[in-house]
């Protein structure tokens, strides 16, 4: 046991090794891939 908890994207659970970068929020992490996905989803939501 240690403090090296694996850093996982909170969206899809990808580890840092699988993604280009992780953005840390107050209580979660999101990867660049999911940020882009989130922007697309948001754009669609706003069009409705």
Q: At its nearest, how many Å lie between Zn ion and the CB of residue 1?
A: 26
Please give the residue ranges that form the binding site for Zn ion (CB under 5 A). Answer: 9, 11-12, 31, 33-34
Mind giving me the DSSP string for 1-48?
Answer: --S-PPPB-TTT--BGGGSS-EEE-SS-EEEHHHHHHHHHHHHHHHH-
Q: At its nearest, how many Å lie between Zn ion and the CB of residue 37?
A: 8
Closer of 26 and 30 to Zn ion (Cβ): 30
Closer of 8 and 43 to Zn ion (Cβ): 8
């Amino acid at each position: 046991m240690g403090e090296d908890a694996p850093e996982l994207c909170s969206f899809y659970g990808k580890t840092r090794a699988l993604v280009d970068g992780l953005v840390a929020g107050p209580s979660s992490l999101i990867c660049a891939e999911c940020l882009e996905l989130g922007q697309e989803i948001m754009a669609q939501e706003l069009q409705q």
